[in-house]
Amino acid sequence: MNRIDKTFQKKQKLLSIYFSAGHPELQDTLPILQALQDSGVDMVEIGLPFSDPLADGPTIQESSTRALNNGMTTEKLFDQLENVRENIHIPMILMGYFNPVMQFGIERFCQKCKAIGIDGLIIPDLPVDIYHHEYKVLFDKYNLYNMFLITPQTSEERIRFIDSVSNGFIYMVSSASVTGAKSNFGNTQEDYFRRVANMQLKTPQLVGFGISNAETYMKAIRYSQGAIIGSAFIQFLEKNTITAIPEFIKTIR
């Protein structure tokens, strides 16, 4: 069974953390993973830096740029993660854009993910239709889940199609804007969370974009199986050491 499925069998609401590989420093990837696992985080999303991250807000864009300037590449990340499963047991997801995957070679990328122990991918610019018709068989061959994003503007028909072809979870984007931490959610977001919950989809949902504190986390998990924090965690890393990560997690739940 994929580790992601096992994690969703937990009765508790989940917390997933996103960070950019190679940020703040090139060699920080493994120490951050270890600190997050030790802090009780349920899942991690490792951002694969890209020079043109259109869906990301300023915080993640800047972290991606810094990681690239540090020398992070797809090959370097795979080298860093080669023996990661000796110590890291929680699900690991690579999140990035399709261009670096194609440049690396799609099947070769999938092979490396399987060899390392990556459980899934999130590729925001890979349309679900193209994935379903051209790549799903390949991803399934290497037991890689591919998670898709929905927004408040995604139609019910589209959401149900995504649900029908999805494994792992559906990434429920809290708003139609780019990534970024928010201090609170408004009625529009809560109505959206409630609407999707009432659809009774077969695939679990995690809420992302805008989760930054205990208040937004609690509102997100009221209608979903968990939440994802990215920008707020990256901002924390820029001001604190890796050893302080447990303090950040304690402020969320």
Q: In the numeric block, which tokens belong to residue 216?
A: 């937004």
CATH architecture designation of domain 14-252: Alpha-Beta Barrel (3.20)
Question: pLDDT at residue 179 above 50?
Answer: no
Question: pLDDT at residue 181 above 60?
Answer: no
Q: In the numeric block, which tokens belong to residue 78?
A: 């795979």
Active site residues: 45, 56
Question: pLDDT at residue 15 above 50?
Answer: yes
CA distance 217 to 203: 20
CA distance 227 to 14: 6
Question: pLDDT at residue 190 above 90?
Answer: no
Q: Strand 145-147 and strand 149-150: pairing?
A: unpaired
Read off the amino acid at residue 19.
Answer: F
CA distance 216 to 213: 6
Task: Compute CA 106 distance to the chain's CA centroid, rounded to the nearest angstrom.
Answer: 19
Which tens digits make up the pLDDT trace of 81-131? 999 999 999 999 999 999 999 999 999 999 999 999 999 999 999 999 999
CA distance 40 to 55: 28
Confidence category of residue 53, pLDDT binned at 50, 70, 90 = low
Q: What pTM was computed for the model?
A: 0.93
